[in-house]
Structure 1
Amino acid sequence: MSSVVVTGASSGIGEAIARRFLADGWSVLTGSRSTPDLDNAEWLRTDVAHPAQADALVAAAVEQFGSLDAVVNNAGVQVDKTVADTTDEEFDHVMDVNVRGVFNMCRAGVRQMAGQPGGGVIINIASVAATHADAGMAVYNASKGAVEALTRAIAVDHGHQGVRCVAVSPGWIATALADAVFDLQADPAAARSEAIGRHPVGRLGTPDDVAEVVAWLAGPAAGFISGSVFTVDGGLTAQSPIG
């Protein structure tokens, strides 16, 4: 049976990813600061920004499952501010979770996978904000750009050791994080309607849309894919901004 660690699985995209792996018969260990509502999945309280806790999460998976086939780095936070309004503390918080946390989990994952038969795959959840900046989310945009760059570096440096590394960059997904952005607008309902109207497919994404891609990338059919970024945004960023 294959095994996976999923961070940030207490809600939204991370929860959907964990549920999809469980449905596919994987052994699942989740790591987050709050308890997830997941049957048949193990959980370890984890703050990925702390290297020792990231190491402990990977070690716990190996102890329970015997090896570790995949790591999905989904844990993330956002601050809805421009660079001029962002405080030092807010910058540190976003970078600690979104960049340092992903780095910590990738390092722990690579060290384990590089020394085990069959290697493994690391899937980092980035965002279309890495290449198409969301207004008023300066540090979040920067953090997701770093995630995509780190993904490519790991793929190049550790492919010969059997470690694949890929990124999935969702667009507007119907989660609590998206709701928080809409709620900041003068007319949240109108803002949501406008956002939906910008999508060629005519809707926002769902956490399951992202989970489907992640599950495929973790499987044998994607064995020759590494260093790539997969955009899951309903065509939002494919279109010309003038139209």
Structure 2
Amino acid sequence: MSGAGVAIVTGGSRGIGRAIVERLYADGAEVVTCGRGDRPAYLPDDVVWVAADVARSGDAERLAETAAARGPVTLLVNNAGVLVAKTVADSTDDDWDLQVGVNCRGVFTTSRAVLPGMTAHGGVIVNVGSISGVVADGTSALYNASKAFVHALTRSIALDHGPMVRCNAVLPGWVETEMADSGFALSADPESARRDAVARHPLGRLGAPADIANAVAWLASDEASWMTGQCLTVDGGLTAASPIRPELS
């Protein structure tokens, strides 16, 4: 982590968020994390848990204030996200409110809450986007669009708030999380869908949450000090290949 200060990780209760919390904590960061439920049992005692829904401006501000009370917030990782697996035609207004509320408004409100302090003392924002914001997943229209928003907001924050603030996004591919399991479960044959997905990765496996946490830790470090406004794809090579693969036919 670049410099001394406090790191906020949204959505730190499981999956990629949990791995990011664990990595930053292992690196010596003072970590504040949040989620909509109860404090996870895995958290070390000195990691601060805030029950918060980042789609609500008041909760995002309270999260930022809790962190700032412990020291200057020098890192924000906007990881919280949800998946609504529907087409546009099938999506309801409630689906829109949930998907855009967490994935878009949550990144906006939390970034807005920390930017005044970061602009004064410096800091880094890392947003967790998705390859789905670049190459669309089927029956995930609102999710795909929400992640494209995250990528665009990343560039805007970098442009408007540099040089004091660096802002980048990491774009995971298929990672072994509950969200991925939910995606495979939509298939008529989930195990076959999983095998097909693995076969399409040049590295021969799905990602692990730690793979994304490692990328986040690098983007937050001084080693990435000349990198801002970028979207870093971490997908095991999935989007590097044409979908026409003779060995898969």
Give 1:62 deviation, angstroms: 1.0
* Corresponding position of 1:146: 149
1:45 aligns with 2:47: no
| Residues in 2 aligned to 1:31 and 1:232: alpha-carbon distance in whole angstroms | 24
Q: Which amino acid aligns with 2:77?
A: V
Give 5+ residue unaligned stretches, structure 1: none
| Residues in 1 aligned to 2:208 and 2:57: alpha-carbon distance in whole angstroms | 31
| Residues in 1 aligned to 2:118 and 2:65: alpha-carbon distance in whole angstroms | 11
| Residues in 2 aligned to 1:138 and 1:208: alpha-carbon distance in whole angstroms | 27
**Aligned residues of 1:99 and 1:143 also touching (Cα < 8 A):** yes
Local SS of the residue matching 2:85 = coil
Give 1:38 deviation, angstroms: 1.0
Cα-to-partner distance string for 1:148-200 (whole Å, 9 max, x where unaligned): 0000000000003x011000000000000000111121111111111000000
* Corresponding position of 1:112: 117
Cα-to-partner distance string for 1:14-37 (whole Å, 9 max, x where unaligned): 000000000000000001112223
Local SS of the residue matching 2:167 = strand
Counterpart selection for 1:226 from 225, 228, 231:
228
| Residues in 1 aligned to 2:207 and 2:192: alpha-carbon distance in whole angstroms | 18
Counterpart selection for 1:217 from 209, 216, 219:
219
Give 1:101 deviation, angstroms: 0.5
1:25 aligns with 2:31: no
| Residues in 2 aligned to 1:241 and 1:188: alpha-carbon distance in whole angstroms | 20
| Residues in 2 aligned to 1:147 and 1:229: alpha-carbon distance in whole angstroms | 10
Give 1:73 deviation, angstroms: 0.3
**Aligned residues of 1:109 and 1:122 also touching (Cα < 8 A):** no
Counterpart selection for 1:79 from 79, 84, 104:
84
Q: Which amino acid aligns with 2:67?
A: A
Give 1:241 deviation, angstroms: 2.4
Give 1:147 deviation, angstroms: 0.2
Counterpart selection for 1:188 from 180, 184, 190:
190
| Residues in 1 aligned to 2:162 and 2:105: alpha-carbon distance in whole angstroms | 22
**Greater displacement, 136-145 / 39-48:** 39-48
Over aligned residues, Cα RMSD in angstroms? 0.9
Q: Which amino acid aligns with 1:190?
A: S
| Residues in 2 aligned to 1:28 and 1:207: alpha-carbon distance in whole angstroms | 18
* Corresponding position of 1:208: 210
* Corresponding position of 2:180: 178
Q: Which amino acid aligns with 1:61?
A: A
| Residues in 2 aligned to 1:130 and 1:238: alpha-carbon distance in whole angstroms | 15
Local SS of the residue matching 2:120 = coil
Q: Which amino acid aligns with 1:79?
A: V
Give every structure 1 segment of 4 or more consecutive aligned residues whose post-TM-superposition deviation is greater than 6 Å. none
Q: TM-score, normalised by structure 2?
A: 0.94
| Residues in 2 aligned to 1:102 and 1:84: alpha-carbon distance in whole angstroms | 26
* Corresponding position of 1:91: 96
